[in-house]
Chains A and B, each alone.
Chain A
Amino acid sequence: MSKNIITPTKEFEDVLTPGYKDLVANGPYNRSAPGTVDDLGSFREITEPHPHCAGCGVSLGIRLGLASLPSPENTIIIGTPGCAYFALTQSALCYSCTAFGNQNSVATGLKRMLKIRHPGKVKDVLVMVGDGGVADIGLDYTLHSWFRGENIATVMLDNEVYGNTGGQESGMTVEGKVLNMAPTGKKFPKIPVFEMAKVAGCAYAVRTTVASPKKFGTAVRRAVLIAREVGPTYVQVYTPCPTNLKFSPGKTLEAAKDVEKTYYQYEEYMTEEASAYLSRIGELKEAK
């Protein structure tokens, strides 16, 4: 996409909303340098007020992720129902969200069709969805897209709960946690999606939290770049939910930092091919 497409004609400039004017003047499309999490706040898009709960880890994860896209003007995001929907629909990106769990199948069809219709052009397809969407209702579609080697980046915003439906246990909830539909505590551990990604064909996988924004931003950027040329990629980011995990909304980052010491330690995995590719395009610097 060229920025010309979103640039209004002179005659209509004065009737556009301030949000749109800001998007054209300062937004992430066609910037001279690729965006990073440091750019957050330099334009209104994705930092606008959102309808999430106070202290929402998911909305933070989405903002950090979207600010880190290597080519937002050529990125299409596929979502799935859940809390992530509220922030993603408010971004000025092509975003599709339909039936719960179908995201990696939709992304497969879309990515393949974009290869047919726009050969040689960069068209990044990024799946950005919650833990229930990936690990429960969409697990087989996610895994099969990895087995098939689709050129898709998948980001799981893991808040360890079904937030939007009122705080039910998900497959990513920690064992023993009492939640709706787990009245006596969850009976099995978190589903090891991160480990599964490595054996299911992902060329790149990262586990991190929103308490490490630069690491997460680098992970999203690398995941999208590697998916473009090498194969499927996966980023799993902990985005804690104060509303349903019952902690103060001011303690979201603290909650994320806490688990970095235990089961959410930063880990980056990449195949030799992915590593060689990053090195070739000058992207292989240590994540800070």
Chain B
Amino acid sequence: MSMSANINAAASAGPNQKAVSPEELLLKAPRERAFMTGSEAVAEAVRRAGIDMAIAYPITPQSESMHLTGDLFAQGYIKDYYRAENEFAVMAAVHGASLGGGRVFTATSGPGTLRAMEMFPVWAGSRQPIVCAFMCRGVALPPSIQPENIEMAFLLDTGMIMFHAENSQDFFDFILAGYAIAEQSEVHLPVGVFADGFFVTHTREVIMLPPDNIKLGEYNPDIAPIPPFDMEHAPMQMVRDPLLNKCNFVSYAASASWHQEVLAAAERARKHINKYMGGLIEVENPGADIMIIASGIAVSQSRDAIRTMAERDGITAGLIKVKSIRPFPAAEIAQATARASAIVIPEFNAGGWLAREVMGTIDNNSRVIAGPRVFGGMSLPGEVIIDVIKKAAR
């Protein structure tokens, strides 16, 4: 009969995966080499994440990852999946699905992120452990589908935890770590996992994967700060005096303390980030006089610049790879730059949000050279970073 009949049969059979702890999946299970794109790495993470429901809407360069996620649904790895009508609808439906107490996944890019914007603080305020992948690209000022991560600047204060992947390996690991961290009882916040579009999503590279016959164990919504909306718990008259429109000190204080608790939950995520991701930052050549601070694909470009400079010019520069943007590793960066006389921050966006973050948290920030920056699809050759470093060294 038709192919769809075969796929449905496969879906009802379901894959034979063993549920394991995040420690087992992320830290202990033996890994094997694979060669794949970032989009395929996302799908491999989804395959092992024990997702109940994924919702998709196409946008370049995100689309392939959500096609592959759809294939995983057809193969029985995910229990429900559909294409929604736009990104706001996706993020709203993901919110609704998470209210129902299950594990959800989606992904988007640039303009889709902006279209869906209103829902991200809702996720955080509702304390939902939603994991969303962002394949960063330009937004329309002027239009660009090319790699650029300005959308991250817009998301810095939505209350979500934000990880920036350098490559496909990070993208795979951070998505799975994202669930492990988000679902901690004391955290319960959404996690955005960001990667620079095309460079990561469309480039094939070697990646180490745990076996595909294991997956994350089922999410337990009963440990959430807010019980699931399933009428299996005592309902309550939640707001006898609705907070939203009451003009009195008690309602302001209730709203403010809820907001503070969202921020505090992100702080409590730090120890889990250390455990599952090996820290909020990684440092190479610690103690160097010149330090580069970068996140995402700018880390790879910086590494290239450092290698060339060391070999050709005999200049040693250090590198701080920032993996967690929220919570921001202010103390770690301050410590790692304590002895640096110059701090160079290359970025794939025109706004320079990472430089602002760093300058807002370290002492003596006249040391910071907030650049170089590329955007609109321009690449960032190591030589451009080297030029800036040499000027700083002069």
The reply to whether B240 and A90 contact each other, CB–CB distance below 8 Å, is: yes
Q: Identify whether the interface residues of B are mostly helix, strand, loop, or mixed.
A: loop
A91 within 8 A of B: yes
Contact A109/B232 with A19-B237, A98-B126 known, Cβ cut-off 8 Å: no
Of the listed stretches A69-77, A178-186, A236-244, chain B binds A69-77
Contacts of A118 in B (CB 8 A): 230, 232
A271 within 8 A of B: no
**Smallest CB separation, B242 vs chain A (Å):** 5
The reply to whether A113 and B101 contact each other, CB–CB distance below 8 Å, is: yes
The reply to whether B102 and A106 contact each other, CB–CB distance below 8 Å, is: no
**Smallest CB separation, B228 vs chain A (Å):** 8
* Closest residue on chain A to residue B102 by CB atoms: A113
The answer for the CA separation of A102 and B55 in the assembled complex, in Å, is: 15
**Smallest CB separation, A19 vs chain B (Å):** 7
The reply to whether B231 and A75 contact each other, CB–CB distance below 8 Å, is: yes
Interface string of A80-93 (1 = CB under 8 A from B): 01000110011111
Contact A112/B119 with A75-B231, A93-B235, A144-B84 known, Cβ cut-off 8 Å: no
A99 within 8 A of B: yes
Which of the residues A1, A89, A90, A117 comes within 8 Å of B100, measured between beta carbons?
A117
**Smallest CB separation, B307 vs chain A (Å):** 47
The reply to whether B95 and A106 contact each other, CB–CB distance below 8 Å, is: yes
The answer for the CA separation of A114 and B101 in the assembled complex, in Å, is: 8
The reply to whether A106 and B237 contact each other, CB–CB distance below 8 Å, is: no
* Closest residue on chain B to residue A115 by CB atoms: B80
Q: Which of B58-95 contact A (CB under 8 A)?
A: 79-80, 82, 84-86, 88-90, 92-95
Interface size on A, residues (CB 8 A): 47
The reply to whether B237 and A90 contact each other, CB–CB distance below 8 Å, is: yes
The reply to whether B242 and A110 contact each other, CB–CB distance below 8 Å, is: no
Which of the residues A1, A90, A107, A113 comes within 8 Å of B239, measured between beta carbons?
A90
The answer for the CA separation of A114 and B237 in the assembled complex, in Å, is: 22
B182 within 8 A of A: no
Contacts of A1 in B (CB 8 A): 231-233, 235
A47 within 8 A of B: no
The reply to whether A117 and B119 contact each other, CB–CB distance below 8 Å, is: no
Interface size on B, residues (CB 8 A): 45
Q: Which of B19-59 contact A (CB under 8 A)?
A: 52-53, 55
The reply to whether A92 and B230 contact each other, CB–CB distance below 8 Å, is: no
Which of the residues A73, A76, A109, A117 comes within 8 Å of B92, measured between beta carbons?
A109
* Closest residue on chain B to residue A98 by CB atoms: B122
Contacts of A109 in B (CB 8 A): 53, 55, 92-100, 104
Contacts of A96 in B (CB 8 A): 96, 99, 229
**Smallest CB separation, B232 vs chain A (Å):** 6
B236 within 8 A of A: yes
The reply to whether B84 and A116 contact each other, CB–CB distance below 8 Å, is: no
Which of the residues B53, B119, B232, B235 comes within 8 Å of A102, measured between beta carbons?
B119
Which of the residues A6, A75, A105, A116 comes within 8 Å of B93, measured between beta carbons?
A105
* Closest residue on chain B to residue A81 by CB atoms: B244
The reply to whether B237 and A92 contact each other, CB–CB distance below 8 Å, is: yes
The 9 closest A-B pairs by CB, nearest first: A113-B100, A109-B96, A109-B97, A109-B93, A106-B96, A102-B92, A105-B92, A110-B96, A113-B97
User: What are some 25 contacts across the A-B interface (CB < 8 A)?
Assistant: A1-B231, A1-B235, A76-B230, A89-B238, A89-B239, A89-B242, A91-B237, A92-B235, A99-B122, A102-B89, A106-B99, A109-B93, A110-B96, A111-B96, A113-B80, A113-B96, A113-B97, A113-B99, A114-B100, A115-B80, A117-B52, A118-B232, A140-B89, A141-B88, A144-B84
Which of B's residues lie within 8 Å of A, judged by CB? 52-53, 55, 79-80, 82, 84-86, 88-90, 92-102, 104, 118-119, 122, 126, 228-242, 244-245
Which of A's residues lie within 8 Å of B, judged by CB? 1, 5-6, 19-20, 23, 45, 51, 73-76, 78, 81, 85-86, 89-96, 98-99, 102, 105-118, 123, 140-141, 144, 148, 164
Give 11 A-B pairs besides A110-B100, A113-B98 with Cβ atoms closer than 8 angstroms. A1-B233, A76-B230, A89-B238, A89-B242, A90-B242, A93-B235, A105-B93, A108-B96, A109-B97, A112-B80, A112-B100
